[in-house]
Amino acid sequence: MGCMRYLSDAHLRGFERYKYNSIDTSWLSVYVMHPFWNYCVKFVPKWLAPNVLTFVGFLMTVINFILLAYYDWNFDAANDKEVGNTVPAWVWTVAAINILIYYNLDGMDGKQARRTGTSGPLGELFDHGLDSYSAALIPIYIFSLFGTVDLPPIRMFFVIWNVFLNFYLTHVEKYNTGVMFLPWGYDFTMWGVSGMLFVATVFGPEIYRFDIHGFTVANAFEVLLIGSGIVSSHPIIARNIYLSYKNKTGKMRPMWEMLRPFFAFLWLFVITTFWSFFSRNNVINDEPRILWILYGTIFSNIACRLIVAQMSDTRCDGFNVLMWPLVATVGVCCFPYYQLVFETDLTRDVERWIVHGLTIFCTLAHWHYGYGVVSEMCDHFHIRCFKIKKPAANGEQELQEAPENAKPTPENIEEV
């Protein structure tokens, strides 16, 4: 990466000491999915690097995004109830299958790493880093089922931020406790999203456009998504962090250091919310898809840097560098005296081009960061990201089915 380096010596020393530690209490994950993945991974060639499985799974979410973007760029394909949703039925089938491929490969990559003797910090960072990007892509598929009539872009905005929050809190929890408490909601969400897409194939996407006394399916989706996090995730995360301080089992960071991961996250939320409400040309209704990619890219960069900090046991960032051009852009697009100062108003087309330009810049910067971090870790540990140098002879012995009465522990749940 030339003279630009993203990982300090402290990061690399921290990665050398790092050991994955997780706890999964989801019965669906422990008693159904993990035995299934243990069985399926035996058919994967041992020469295939686990990061290949991770990357192929991520590409499935990208393919879904491209497909739906082609047929429903502005999320208006479902708006006309008389015409019906104009997205072809086969697209929903492909999207549903791709979600299941992503979900199952995401579950199998860690097991492939164990059976090939290639487990290490790079695999976890690569896995969770790509997951942070998928956190922005996956909700976008559902928006095409409802359309902008039942789910206006401003409400899409808060749905996406709820997904961001659920993903981010899990890593804030690990940053402070040192343990990855795998959330219950992940497995059910993947099956739920895939199921919704399959239903759109079988019964038609019009099934998501009915309402009962003004309460729409989109409203039910919002309530279920936000409520599930409030009930099944957020209080449990707060309790786990509290217990780690009470029992002195966590990182025992001072209060402000414990809260530090929230700073960049909250800054991004405040800036993007301000833009959504005070854009001079109401850009959120003109370019919602591009905005979701922009916000998702910056969020992924914030999440990746937090994951690097938690795994290397270093201090996380309080502000993200990609927010500086975002702040400048929002300042220009929301400046109340623009016409008075510049003697011409900011046109709708100009603001849209600004959004596109900023999205391209942030995407390239984030990709450069990801490529740089992976390259630096590969150089440091003398490994390759997508190639196994020497498969382990006894790796197969490490992969065991969890007994039916086994309690979920860090020993029987090794990887997300």
SS (H, E, C) the chain: CCCCCCCCHHHHHHHHHCCCCEEECCHHHHHHHHHHHHHHHHHCCCCCCHHHHHHHHHHHHHHHHHHHHHHCCCCCCCCCCCCCCCCCHHHHHHHHHHHHHHHHHHHHHHHHHHHCCCCCHHHHHHHHHHHHHHHHHHHHHHHHHHHHHHCCHHHHHHHHHHHHHHHHHHHHHHHHHCCEEECHHHHHHHHHHHHHHHHHHHCCHHHHHCEECCEEHHHHHHHHHHHHHHHHCHHHHHHHHHHHHHCCCCCCCCHHHHHCHHHHHHHHHHHHHHHHHHCCCCHHHHCHHHHHHHHHHHHHHHHHHHHHHHHHCCCCCCCCCCHHHHHHHHHHHHCCCHHHHHCCCCCHHHHHHHHHHHHHHHHHHHHHHHHHHHHHHHHHHCCCCCCCCCCCCCHHHHCCCCCCCCCCCCCCCCCC
pLDDT of 16 strictly over 80: yes
Confidence of residue 2 (pLDDT cuts 50, 70, 90): low
Confidence of residue 22 (pLDDT cuts 50, 70, 90): confident
pLDDT of 379 strictly over 80: yes
- State if pTM tops 0.75: yes
Each residue of 79-124: pLDDT tens digit?
A: 998 888 999 999 999 999 999 999 999 999 999 999 999 999 999 9
Report residue 197 as tokens: 């897409």
| Average pLDDT of span 181-185 | 83
Confidence of residue 336 (pLDDT cuts 50, 70, 90): confident
pLDDT of residue 343: 76
pLDDT of residue 400: 46
- Residue for token digits 């854009």? 279
pLDDT of residue 17: 94
pLDDT of residue 3: 65
Confidence of residue 367 (pLDDT cuts 50, 70, 90): very high
CA 389 – CA 139 distance, rounded (Å): 37
pLDDT of residue 91: 96
Asked if 369 contacts 301 with a C-beta cutoff of 8 angstroms, the reply is yes
**H/E segment holding residue 149:** helix 121-150
Confidence of residue 184 (pLDDT cuts 50, 70, 90): confident
pLDDT of 303 strictly over 70: yes
Report residue 373 as tokens: 């971090």
| Average pLDDT of span 144-161 | 95
- Residue for token digits 């749940």? 413
Least trusted range by pLDDT, from 185-189, 344-348, 353-357, 392-396: 392-396
pLDDT of 323 strictly over 60: yes
| Average pLDDT of span 176-198 | 90
Using alpha carbons, select from 366, 391, 415 the residue that is nearest to residue 125.
Answer: 415
CA 396 – CA 112 distance, rounded (Å): 9
pLDDT of residue 415: 40
- SS3 of 319, please? coil
Radius of gyration of the chain (CA): 22
CA 183 – CA 173 distance, rounded (Å): 11
Confidence of residue 402 (pLDDT cuts 50, 70, 90): very low
| Average pLDDT of span 46-51 | 95
The sign of the CA dihedral 72, 76, 82, 83 is negative
- SS3 of 370, please? helix
pLDDT of residue 235: 92
Asked if 92 contacts 201 with a C-beta cutoff of 8 angstroms, the reply is yes
pLDDT of 414 strictly over 80: no
Report residue 69 as tokens: 């973007």
| Average pLDDT of span 289-308 | 97
- Mean pLDDT of the residues in the chain: 90
| Average pLDDT of span 150-160 | 95
| Average pLDDT of span 242-255 | 94
Residue % of the chain over a pLDDT of 90: 78
pLDDT of 151 strictly over 60: yes
Report residue 90 as tokens: 């086969």
CA 191 – CA 67 distance, rounded (Å): 20
- SS3 of 22, please? strand
Confidence of residue 232 (pLDDT cuts 50, 70, 90): confident
Confidence of residue 182 (pLDDT cuts 50, 70, 90): confident
φ and ψ at residue 180, rounded to 5 degrees:
-90, 105
Do the strands 211-212 and 215-216 form a parallel or antiparallel pair, or are they unpaired? antiparallel
**H/E segment holding residue 273:** helix 261-278
pLDDT of residue 390: 64
pLDDT of residue 26: 86
Asked if 354 contacts 335 with a C-beta cutoff of 8 angstroms, the reply is no
| Average pLDDT of span 240-262 | 94
